[in-house]
């Protein structure tokens, strides 16, 4: 008996090279689609060979690593590829709050992947290639308030500013949610296709009903090498090229946004330094320009001690100042006091891990939790001492438009 899976026999895993499959998302069947796509490369998957709900608490990432080690360690693997993402793979979504329920790991039955000019197919058990039916239109979308109305959320921002000015903390990230109801059951493949096409520089993801396109790479782990992309500081795109350039310059020279970004970078530096023998952090951020917003961005690279899993890095980094605040423990207290909602998987780690411990994990931003015909959309803003509630509301609305576009087309 497999302790990890509760099955009578271990997983039988087969990975083999295949011809280029073209658009990966178009290969997904309707049921239980999982995805991690950027610039047309990545992984899509379906079916469930194993699934587990990760117990909440401070040791949840360690528990997840142990469960995966037992699950993958018992598997019989025939892998002709030997690349990151080949062999058995698990997709995961962790809640933002370590004490919240809802973190999950899924080992799909089928994974179709493409990376650096090679494509491969992984199957567990009998080969399963589900019938692919055309995606269904969602019909008309109706929106409603989430946990707080817009004026209530502005009031929460104002209260956060007061606490920052009083010296309780430097920064806090406050999130908003919005509800959406479609005429018909939401076909996740429709959302994935629209997001991947519109936001190719982002990581389009789907795991256990959490769907989005995040610009923020929490960590990529390949062998002993790790990469992370820190984002903090945002402005909307301009109405024309000149306005766009002005906005970008204003963001890059903004004392408020540069300080917010520096807080986020420092939190990543502090998290990674104990794990790395080598760590490179840029002195200045760069501008990351997306279709809807511009961000201050800092790419960070490092070299890990041998034997470390990508989940070890995720555990050390989450939550970063970019999605929590500074100092983090105080910011988490303020979030619980003012947001008035459970973030669920929003701003939590989402991604994949293979049996070697390699993987890619992002922060679940610009996303929605899908259940039937209903969706719960999320967006958040970094609040500083000079933040203006109306401006923060406008920024949150700009970020919400990502998933509104995915729903409406």
- Whether residue 167 is contained in a domain is answered as yes
pLDDT at 300 (0 to 100): 94
Flag whether pLDDT at 265 surpasses 60.
yes
Domain count, the chain: 1
Q: Flag whether 7 is in a domain.
A: no
> Is 181 inside a domain boundary?
yes
Residue 7: CB atoms within 10 Å: 14
Range in 85-89, 126-130, 343-347 the model is least confident about: 126-130
Q: What is the pLDDT of residue 142?
A: 97
* pLDDT > 80? residue 1: no
Range in 76-80, 101-105, 134-138 with the lowest mean pLDDT: 134-138
Structure token pair of residue 273: 């330094």
190-203 tens-digit pLDDT = 999 999 999 999 99
Residue 4, domain member (yes or no)? no
332 has a pLDDT exceeding 50: yes
Give the mean model confidence (pLDDT) for residues 351-361. Answer: 96
Cis omega (within 30 of 0) for bond into 327: yes
Chain-centroid distance, C-alpha 254 = 27
Q: Which of 325, 331, 319, 315 is nearest to 274 (CA)?
A: 315
Q: Given a cut of 90, is residue 293 above it in pLDDT?
A: no
> How far is the C-alpha of 308 from the C-alpha of 320, rounded, in Å?
20
What per-residue confidence (pLDDT) applies to 130?
63
Q: What is the pLDDT of residue 227?
A: 94
Q: How far apart are CA 29 and CA 130, in angstroms?
A: 6
Per-position b or e across 236-266, b if 16+ CB within 10 A of its CB: bbeeeeeebeebbeebbebeebbbbbbbbbe
The predicted model scores a pTM of 0.91
Of 369, 322, 345, give the one whose Cα is nearest residue 105. 345
Q: How far apart are CA 128 and CA 19, in angstroms?
A: 17
CA–CA separation, 344 and 199 (whole Å): 24
Residue 5, pLDDT above cutoff 50: no
With 0-12 / 13-18 / 19 or more C-beta atoms within 10 angstroms meaning exposed / middle / buried, residue 73 is exposed
What pLDDT, in 10s, does the model give residues 124-179?
Answer: 987 666 667 788 889 999 999 999 999 999 999 999 999 999 999 999 999 999 99
pLDDT digits (tens, 9 = 90+) for 61-72: 999 999 999 999
**Over the stretch 32-54, which tens digit does the pLDDT of each residue have?**
899 999 999 999 999 999 999 99
Angle at 131 between CA 125 and CA 137, to 5 degrees: 135
Q: At what angle do helices 150-165 and 389-408 cross, to 10 degrees?
A: 140
Model pLDDT, residue 3 = 41
> What pLDDT sits at residue 304?
87
Q: How confident is the model at residue 2 (pLDDT cuts 50, 70, 90)?
A: very low
For 87-110, b/e burial (b = at least 16 CB within 10 A) is: bbbbbbbbbbbbeeebbbbbbbbb
In a domain, 168, yes or no: yes
Question: Can you give the pLDDT at residue 58?
Answer: 94
**Does residue 292 sit within a domain?**
yes
Does residue 5 fall inside a structural domain?
no
CATH number at residue 221: 3.60.120.10
| pLDDT, position 129 | 63
Cβ 118 vs Cβ 21: under 8 Å: no
Query: What is the span of the domain harbouring residue 124?
Result: 12-134+143-408
Reported confidence tier of residue 267, pLDDT bands at 50, 70, 90? confident
Indicate which residues carry an active-site annotation.
171, 216
99 within domain boundaries: yes
Got the DSSP string for 209-263? TEEEEES-EEEEEETTEEEEEEEEEEEEPPSSHHHHHHHHHHHHH-HHHHHHHHH
């Amino acid at each position: 008996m497999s302790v990890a899976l509760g099955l009578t026999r271990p997983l039988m895993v087969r990975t083999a090279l295949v011809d280029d499959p073209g658009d990966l998302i178009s290969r997904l069947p309707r049921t239980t689609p999982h995805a991690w796509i950027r610039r047309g490369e990545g992984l899509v998957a379906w079916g469930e060979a194993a699934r587990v709900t990760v117990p909440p608490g401070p040791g949840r990432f360690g528990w997840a690593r142990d469960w995966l080690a037992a699950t993958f360690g018992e598997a019989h693997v025939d892998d002709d590829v030997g690349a990151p993402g080949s062999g058995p793979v698990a997709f995961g979504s962790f809640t933002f709050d370590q004490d919240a329920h809802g973190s999950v790991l899924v080992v799909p039955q089928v994974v179709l992947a493409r990376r650096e000019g090679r494509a491969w197919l992984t199957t567990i058990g009998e080969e399963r290639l589900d019938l692919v039916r055309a995606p269904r239109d969602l019909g008309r979308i109706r929106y409603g308030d989430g946990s707080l109305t817009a004026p209530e959320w502005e009031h929460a921002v104002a209260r956060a500013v007061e606490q920052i000015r009083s010296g309780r903390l430097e920064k806090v990230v406050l999130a908003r949610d919005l509800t959406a109801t479609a005429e018909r059951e939401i076909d996740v493949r429709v959302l994935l296709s629209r997001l991947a096409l519109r936001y190719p520089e982002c990581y389009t993801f789907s795991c256990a009903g959490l769907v989005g396109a995040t610009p923020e790479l929490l960590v990529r782990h390949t062998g002993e090498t790790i990469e992370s992309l820190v984002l903090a500081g945002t402005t909307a795109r301009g109405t024309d090229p000149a306005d766009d350039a002005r906005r970008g310059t204003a963001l890059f020279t903004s004392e408020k946004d540069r300080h917010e970004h520096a807080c986020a970078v420092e939190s990543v530096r502090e998290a990674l330094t104990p794990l790395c023998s080598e760590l490179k952090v840029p002195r200045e951020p760069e501008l990351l320009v997306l279709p809807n917003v511009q961000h201050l961005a800092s790419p960070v690279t490092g070299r890990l001690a041998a034997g470390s899993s990508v989940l070890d890095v995720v555990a050390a980094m989450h939550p970063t100042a970019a999605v929590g605040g500074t100092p983090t423990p105080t910011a988490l207290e303020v979030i619980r006091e003012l947001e008035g909602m459970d973030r669920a998987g929003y701003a939590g780690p989402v991604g994949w891990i293979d049996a070697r411990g390699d993987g890619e994990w992002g922060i679940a931003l610009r996303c929605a939790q899908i259940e039937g015909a209903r969706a719960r959309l999320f967006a958040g803003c970094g609040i500083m001492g000079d933040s203006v509630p109306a401006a923060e509301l406008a920024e949150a609305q700009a970020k919400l438009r990502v998933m509104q576009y995915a729903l409406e087309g």
